[in-house]
Structure 1
Amino acid sequence: MPEKLSLGDSNLLWAYALIDGLASRGVTQAVISPGSRSTPLVIACDHHPAIQIRVQVDERCAAFFALGLAKQSQQPVILIATSGSAPAHWFPAVIEANHSTIPLILLTADRPPELHGWGANQTTDQQRLFGSHLRAFYDPGPAENETLPRDQLHKLGREIATQAMQPHPGPIQVNMPFREPLLPSSNICLPESATAQRNTAAPATPDATLIEAIIRQIAGKPGIILCGASDLGATFAQAVGRLAESLDCPILADPLSNMRNGGHDKRRVIAHYDAFLEPAAEAIRPHWVLRFGALPVSKALLQYLEKTQAPQLICDPYQQWPSLPPHGKLSIATDPILLCEAIIAKQPTPAPKAWCAAFGRLEQRAATIMTPETVEDHPFEGEIVDTLLDCLPDRSLLFSGNSMPIRQLDSWSGVRDKQIQIAANRGVSGIDGTISTFLGMAQGDYSVAVALMGDLTFYHDLNGLLAAAGEDLVIVLINNNGGGIFGYLPQSSLNSYEHYWNTATDLNFQHAATLYGLGYKQVTQQSTFRATLEQSIASGGPQLIEVMIDRDYSIERHRHYRAAVAQQLTK
């Protein structure tokens, strides 16, 4: 016989079964936005001892905040919204989570089946709302009064928590329709929560036959290890450093690989390739490329790979890229650390002795030219990046916006021994949600959390600043009055460039700082940036530093540097 429960009690027990199932596999964080239909899910999270809730009013900000939490913890995060258009605001973050392999559990509250199809208020089709960007979709239907269905929903929660992590981490949607009334009775007794067991994915062991094929391709030949954006950690950095030593080859390290900073062996790490690859391409043609992580930021590096046509061996542990890129030869479905160790164990013949040394000389020349004498005291992004990294202590987070800031980090960050985690939303390289993702990541155990972003990126996620209240962090806003990246592209020659591409907002961002309770400082001279940054870090609380950039001066400095490197290489 079914239990005698009110519908409100049944809704809560139904929601609690799912939440407890998720919590039993190590899920501990939930981000919610206010709404009525999601009430049972919110109360279930609120009453669960393992779940920590954060409230974000704007659904789009909530989704990117959850993305940042999951990116930092590398564990699934619950996201809850009410029915109708509310969960549609998650879509940009879901796309990013899909392409960046970030585990999100999307709980979309819904109207029950009988309210669909005839125009009932706040009701729309939420089935598979996020299409191909999901790892899976489930709709367990409205609450049932029997124990067995609740047990099955609890089991589904356990399976979802695991599925969000392996074999291919990413977002999962669970559509949860609820009938009214949505509030439980005051005397309902919730079941005891299950014992939590955190998900741990077993790394895929390298296939012996595949390792032999890799050795045949790379042994004794000049090649490069390319480390793109990844969250593989210090253990990987150590492993790939040992691999580069074994093969005596350079590591071309994207800033988001986090190979440029830290205590690992960086003797073969090349950070200034963006400046010298184009003029030096003919002199340094690799016979192979072993790639870890996503494609790099640098356009010059991508063009170099295309020009040299070296076969690429791509470590793709999740098999997330179904197609090989141009000149791709192998897709290697194995754990990156185990792959490094397996290749080292075979003791392959290293590259010719002069190969890695040639990259080292080019790196040194580019680094020497990088700091020309300053003629004017205008703020310049290259010096902003250098000062920023110089001031940040060990165990800092530096979150970068897309468009120009990540490219500035690529060009100017160099190599340092300090442990600084550099992160960005590079799954689809959008400017949306940058503030919110940064604030989500900043919840981690960092000594200092700083973000670097442009004015359009900042404007695009102003609502995200609501979550900055009470947090110790600094946002460095590079204001070049619009989409400065297009000044480097052919569109800048068009008469309509300012109107359609640069799209300056002419906003006074000090008002935004006041509205959201951030401390504010403006920098108009490069010589004052260091002191302003140090003061902002020491002040505590959320701080905004707006750095005013002369766009023409900045473009000229960049071009002068590239020309100087090219001239140096012809000597």
Structure 2
Amino acid sequence: NAGPVQFDIPLREPLVPEPDSDPADFPPGRPGGRPWTYSPPVSFDQPLPIDLTEDTVVISGHGAGVHPNLAQLPTVAEPTAPPPAVPLHPLALAALRPRQVIMAGRPTLHRPVSALLADASVPVYALTTGPRWPDVSGNSAATGTRAETSGSPDPQWLERCARTHRHALAVVREQLAAHPLTTGLHVAAAVAAALRPGDQLVLGASNPVRDAALVGLNTEGIEVRSNRGVAGIDGTVSTAIGAALAHAGRTIALLGDLTFVHDASGLLIGPTEPTPRDLTIVVSNDNGGGIFELLEQGDPRFSDVSSRIFGTPHDVDVGALCRAYHVEARQIEAGDLQGILDEPHAGLRVLEVKADRSSLRQLHAAIRAGL
């Protein structure tokens, strides 16, 4: 499970080698370019027996692998997880009573998922790629690298999950249509509707990645990337530009305003540097941290201080900021976003959609009530 390693190697004078440097001055290495010390690859394989006759759901988080023998099971998949064959909306979990959970990767986005994983009466089987596995609640019953399944899921359970999934998705769409103000959920829904196979999607941390999941984002044929972790907003503009440079097709990035402003200097690309072929950065701008409207800090009791301390409004002129970096920018309405994304485009542009966060708590409450 090792991650990237950084080497800080100081240069020795002269800082640029002399043109007539003798190649013999450099160590020759092993013949044929072989490693100096060979270490054979080591695989870690730990099968985990799981009986699928129990009512089962799969929770697929960031870093989850592909498990073909679990494809028939209802799966709550975060946007950066492999696309599920049988999707299950995260808000549907409250209406279901699974008897066991199979967890793959590291799920971090949804409170209903966290509540289920912490339920001591529901065994959790964690699938991982190595000797470590996420277990925030300390509730994992067993772990392994792959599921060794037996039995078949109850068709009635599968149908109930499918019905509940469809209902949850319909409620979200109905409440979005009925809500009088534009929110980040509306922006995410427009982006999700505009995606097509071959696209690359970069999702900002905090609300955008969660909103994408709640509006039913279908990631089949889409390359999805997102900076995850406790500092997920760091460097996201730069991530989007780097990902777009490495992608042959279209890249769309959906970022919140704080995430965008936090790395606005990533828009600075020198005149001798390569630029993205087709990158649109959609900024859902609700002037602050909208996610805190949905947490305990957003309770109306704390309205006198929560906006300043947690919402952190900034009043940044996104268009002016982009112009300072010679980047094309437009402010548009959420209803026009899908159509504009469908238009042919080349290069880098920023589309800003003004959104409201003061009504987010009301919108999410209406969605929960509809479930």
SS of the residue corresponding to residue 230 of structure 1 reads: coil
Alpha-carbon shift at residue 307 of structure 1 (Å) = 3.1
- The residue aligned with 1:317 is 129
Alpha-carbon shift at residue 243 of structure 1 (Å) = 2.6
Deviations 1:55-90 (A, max 9, x none): xxxxxxxxxxxxxxxxxxxxxxxxxxxxxxxxxxxx
Alignment partner of 1:533 is 2:341: yes
- The residue aligned with 1:400 is 203
TM-score norm. by structure 2 comes to 0.85
Greater shift in the superposed pair: 432-441 or 301-310:
301-310
- The residue aligned with 2:160 is 358
Deviations 1:258-310 (A, max 9, x none): 315xxxxx2x221x22x2323x25xx232x22211112411111112223632
Q: Distance in 1 between matches of 2:339 and 2:154?
A: 47
Query: Following superposition of structure 1 onto structure 2, how do residues 137-152 of structure 1 map, counting pairs within 5 Å?
Result: none
Alpha-carbon shift at residue 551 of structure 1 (Å) = 1.8
Distance 1:555 1:441, change over 3 A: same
Structure 1 contact 434–457 (Cα < 8 Å) conserved: yes
Distance 1:467 1:328, change over 3 A: farther
SS of the residue corresponding to residue 370 of structure 2 reads: helix
Greater shift in the superposed pair: 544-553 or 380-389:
380-389
Alignment partner of 1:450 is 2:252: yes
Distance 1:307 1:478, change over 3 A: same
The code of the aligned residue for 1:188 comes to: S
Q: Distance in 1 between matches of 2:361 and 2:341?
A: 24
- The residue aligned with 1:437 is 239
SS of the residue corresponding to residue 491 of structure 1 reads: helix
Alignment partner of 1:256 is 2:80: yes
Q: Which runs of 4+ in 1 moved over 6 A?
A: 191-201
Alpha-carbon shift at residue 429 of structure 1 (Å) = 4.8
Structure 1 contact 377–527 (Cα < 8 Å) conserved: no
The code of the aligned residue for 1:442 comes to: A
Query: Following superposition of structure 1 onto structure 2, how do residues 256-405 of structure 1 map, counting pairs within 5 Å?
Result: 256-260=80-84, 266=85, 268-270=86-88, 272-273=89-90, 275-278=91-94, 280-281=95-96, 284-286=97-99, 288-307=100-119, 309-321=121-133, 325-332=137-144, 334=145, 339-340=146-147, 343=148, 348-372=150-174, 374-375=177-178, 378-405=181-208
Alignment partner of 1:548 is 2:354: yes
TM-score norm. by structure 1 comes to 0.57
* Counterpart pick for 1:225 among 34, 54, 58: 58
Alignment partner of 1:470 is 2:278: no
Structure 2 contact 187–284 (Cα < 8 Å) conserved: no
SS of the residue corresponding to residue 186 of structure 2 reads: helix
Alpha-carbon shift at residue 320 of structure 1 (Å) = 3.8
Instruction: Give the gaps of 5 or more residues in structure 2.
Output: none
Q: Distance in 2 between matches of 1:534 and 1:309?
A: 48
Query: Following superposition of structure 1 onto structure 2, how do residues 88-237 of structure 1 map, counting pairs within 5 Å?
Result: 168-190=1-23, 204=43, 206-207=45-46, 210-211=47-48, 214-215=49-50, 218-230=51-63, 232=65, 236=66
SS of the residue corresponding to residue 15 of structure 2 reads: coil
The code of the aligned residue for 2:5 comes to: I
Q: Distance in 2 between matches of 1:513 and 1:201?
A: 50
Q: Distance in 2 between matches of 1:219 and 1:372?
A: 34
SS of the residue corresponding to residue 257 of structure 1 reads: coil
Alpha-carbon shift at residue 401 of structure 1 (Å) = 0.7
Structure 1 contact 399–424 (Cα < 8 Å) conserved: yes
Alpha-carbon shift at residue 195 of structure 1 (Å) = 6.5
- The residue aligned with 2:317 is 508
Q: Distance in 2 between matches of 1:410 and 1:180?
A: 53
Q: Distance in 1 between matches of 2:120 and 2:83?
A: 24
Structure 1 contact 227–251 (Cα < 8 Å) conserved: yes
Alignment partner of 1:413 is 2:229: no
Q: Distance in 1 between matches of 2:230 and 2:167?
A: 33
Distance 1:481 1:196, change over 3 A: farther
Deviations 1:490-513 (A, max 9, x none): 223322112211111111011121
Q: Distance in 1 between matches of 2:57 and 2:143?
A: 16
- The residue aligned with 1:243 is 70
- Determine which structure has more spread, i.e. the larger CA radius of gyration: 1
Q: Distance in 2 between matches of 1:435 and 1:540?
A: 18
Q: Distance in 1 between matches of 2:130 and 2:192?
A: 32
Q: Distance in 2 between matches of 1:449 and 1:304?
A: 34
Instruction: Give the gaps of 5 or more residues in structure 1.
Output: 1-167, 261-265, 566-571
Alpha-carbon shift at residue 170 of structure 1 (Å) = 1.0
Q: Distance in 2 between matches of 1:459 and 1:437?
A: 14
Distance 1:358 1:429, change over 3 A: farther
Distance 1:197 1:460, change over 3 A: farther
- What is the aligned-residue RMSD (CA, Å)? 3.0
Q: Distance in 2 between matches of 1:401 and 1:320?
A: 26
Alignment partner of 1:564 is 2:367: no
* Counterpart pick for 1:422 among 218, 224, 227: 224
Q: Distance in 1 between matches of 2:92 and 2:78?
A: 15
Q: Distance in 1 between matches of 2:60 and 2:130?
A: 16
The code of the aligned residue for 1:289 comes to: V
Number of residue pairs matched by the alignment: 357
Query: Following superposition of structure 1 onto structure 2, how do residues 71-90 of structure 1 map, counting pairs within 5 Å?
Result: none
Alpha-carbon shift at residue 189 of structure 1 (Å) = 4.9
Structure 2 contact 179–363 (Cα < 8 Å) conserved: no
Deviations 1:421-456 (A, max 9, x none): 222111335211111122222232342111111111
